[in-house]
Amino acid sequence: MTRWWLAGLVALFLWIAYGLSPYVALYRLSQAVQAHDPQAVAQRVNFRTLRLSLTRQATAAVLDAITARRDLSARDRAILTEASGALAEPLVESLVTPETLIDLLDDGWPVRAGLARQPGSVAPSPDTPPPDTPSAGEAAQAPNTQSPNTQAPRAPNTHDPDVPATTGEAGRRSEGLGLHASTLSQLFALFRSAEPRGFRGMVVSYPPDRPLENRFRLRLRLRGWTWRLVDLELPSALRERISQRLTGAMQR
């Protein structure tokens, strides 16, 4: 009888360990990204399957842009469609490196690959309060303490699409677009968005407080004793940025 109890406890322990293991893998991947450790990230990513996934998404984004253009003839449309795969390949190759993947998972935008965020491309988090603005009466009563010779601070560049709207590592992370799984609250938020894919697969969408079209969908797969990132579905804003980049190259 005792042996049956021990066997049951061991089975329960193994089941709990299996259930927690993908979240431990997310935590370690997040830690490696924050530490900017390419070797640790490479150990947790299947770059072959990730390359196939990103190539499919980049090609589909370009084909959607070509289809939406009504000014193209059937011949031009066919030529651009044939060239889409060749143009997507070098861009995807620049994305599937440990360094660029760290950039992408850290803040949601692979600036290393020339894909900076465009102003207004991602909606602010619903948990982010709007900035405080004084009313007209408060503005009229407020004394003007600025010297007439003092120059007002320059506004950030919001017109250059190749310049990130928010500069600095801390500023980009504050937008909450990256993979954050360093605390129990962050892991619990990812747990609520997790979708099992059989016994050895799981999909997590993040950031969990964003609309579905603005989320990444990260798929983990258990191989041996290690959970690895095998697929990363990009949000609509980043797919559109890739489409603009590739269609611009076609026009040149």
**88-109 per-position pLDDT tens digit:** 888 888 888 999 999 999 888 8
Among 215, 245, 217, 235, residue whose Cα is nearest residue 116: 245
The pLDDT confidence band at residue 173, using thresholds 50, 70 and 90, is very low
Task: Specify the pTM.
Answer: 0.68
Position 139 pLDDT exceeds 50: no
Burial of 192: CB neighbours in 10 Å, binned 0-12, 13-18, 19+: exposed
The pLDDT confidence band at residue 112, using thresholds 50, 70 and 90, is confident
The pLDDT confidence band at residue 120, using thresholds 50, 70 and 90, is low
Most confident of 41-50, 81-90, 159-168: 41-50
Higher-pLDDT residue of 79 and 141 is: 79
| Tally: H helices and E strands in the chain | 9, 4
Largest CA distance in the chain: 89
Burial of 163: CB neighbours in 10 Å, binned 0-12, 13-18, 19+: middle
| Alpha-carbon gap, residue 220 to 230, rounded angstroms | 6
DSSP strand pairing (216-223 vs 226-233): antiparallel
